[in-house]
Amino acid sequence: MVDSMRYISTRDESRTEIPFSDILLGGLAPDGGLYLPAEYPQVTGDMLDRWRKLLNTQGYPALAAEVLQLFIDDIPADDLTDIAYRAYTFPKFAHAEIVPVTKLEDGMYIGHLSEGPTAAFKDIAMQLLGEFFEYELRRRGETLTIVGATSGDTGSAAEYAMSGRDGIKVFMLTPAGRMTPFQQAQMFGLNDPNIFNIALEGVFDDCQDVVKAVSADADFKRAHRIGAVNSINWARLVAQVVYYISCYLHVATSNEQKVSFSVPTGNFGDICAGHIAKQMGVPIDKLIVATNENDVLDEFFRTGVYRVRSSADTFETSSPSMDISRASNFERFIYDLLGRDAVRVADLFGTQVPQGGFTLADDPAFLKVGTQYGFLSGSSTHADRVATIRDCYERLGVMIDPHTADGVKVARELRNQVDTPIVCLETALPVKFAHTIKEATGREPDLPDRFTTIMQAERHVTDLPNDVDVVKDFIAAND
């Protein structure tokens, strides 16, 4: 347990410190910034040794409970343990290890993050978040209205994690027509009076902008008890830090060995958790950012230019969960990169990003991106995805989804720059992207038994225009 673990906003010059439970339910900070620990807890060799034994003997939830205690000191340790064990159970997760790791080829592994109820890596964080929310709301005697945006997987993972929980309503915005049929069926087929699906005109970034605008209206947020489940919520990143540690412990035979990670990403949430694990002292070597054609992050890590795209300039791709051109979690990394300069970060993300972006190309700090912080990056196209899926299936007998294929493609491309084993983090099961899988392999992906009836379910969704006020009216009418 860490003494006095507190959190600060990336835009707060005064560095006001707030306990975990108070940031859990809120999402964005009142100043528009994102929360991070005032100081990252540090991992020692003795801790890694203990965790390796713990993972092997007691499993993933036991490891999660220990990691959570490093970040949370205002929930009793026994309660944190109970929360972790409720979140990570078999068969709710289809594999007893929760996050198994398998070898793909020499020097490369797959971290299987998609064994949860919606077959996407978002389940890892969402199942924990659902437990946290229910626990804290019960403790406070309060209710919560969750307003979120999804490009495909976050929404279904959030809805399945929050469904049936007392005191919680979910309003989830999706880009109309931009998700795969399976993704739509997962979300829109869920029949729960506390779950509201909204199909918004536009792309994911439009949905995210509406969510941010709703959260920025302090009076509305307070009146309707608005909270967030998107990756801006710090508790989700805490959950994701755990699987970096777990994957590391599976691959590294000793604490002297380092491991790299290749991470398909659009919103920078998944790989931001890897950055945090590395800052904690977990022996992580390189963090490889893998984007699709929406390559705003790849462009930054290659050039220092962060050039956000408009909705019209955001491509619709075959790895749709990464069709994002403004990465919400990126602010957390830039805050660390710039020496936690809240004034600069507030200007960069509060002023310059809305105007089109910023550049750090001539800033001395940019030199640290690849050295001190270990970032590499690359991008992938539809042809790359199809070729990678086909190769993994035909040559290696492994079927991967299009997003994971982006990660594998970029990892292979950068292999000569990495001297350590690479774990490619899986994003989803192939069944969620059947059209691309069939194009690549000539066959439909296997359908897990738990999804056999999902396509036939009645749909529950409301179409709305890209208008903040209309969305707020809908929330108010149904809250």
Decide if 172 contacts 148 (C-beta within 8 A).
yes
Q: How far apart are CA 479 and CA 194, in angstroms?
A: 9
User: Residue 409 burial by CB count (10 A; 0-12/13-18/19+): exposed, middle or buried?
Assistant: buried
Nearest Cα to Cα of residue 40 among 247, 272, 251, 228:
272
Position 301: which residue type?
A: F
Distances, alpha carbon 358 to alpha carbons 34, 235, 296, 351, 362, in Å: 18, 28, 12, 10, 11
**Among residues 122, 258, 409, 432, which one is catalytic?**
122
Instruction: State the DSSP string of 164-182.
Output: T-TTEEEEEEEETT-S-HH
Tell me the residue ranges of DSSP E strands in 27-89: 35-37
Q: Provide the Cα torsion 201, 205, 207, 208; round to 10°.
A: -170
> Could you tell me the two tokens for 435?
């059209």
Overall size of the chain counted in residues: 479
Distances, alpha carbon 420 to alpha carbons 104, 148, 262, 271, in Å: 15, 37, 12, 18
Q: For residue 206, what is the enclosing H or E element?
A: helix 204-216
Nearest Cα to Cα of residue 25 among 174, 153, 162, 199:
162
Active site residue 438: no
Which residues are known to be catalytic?
122
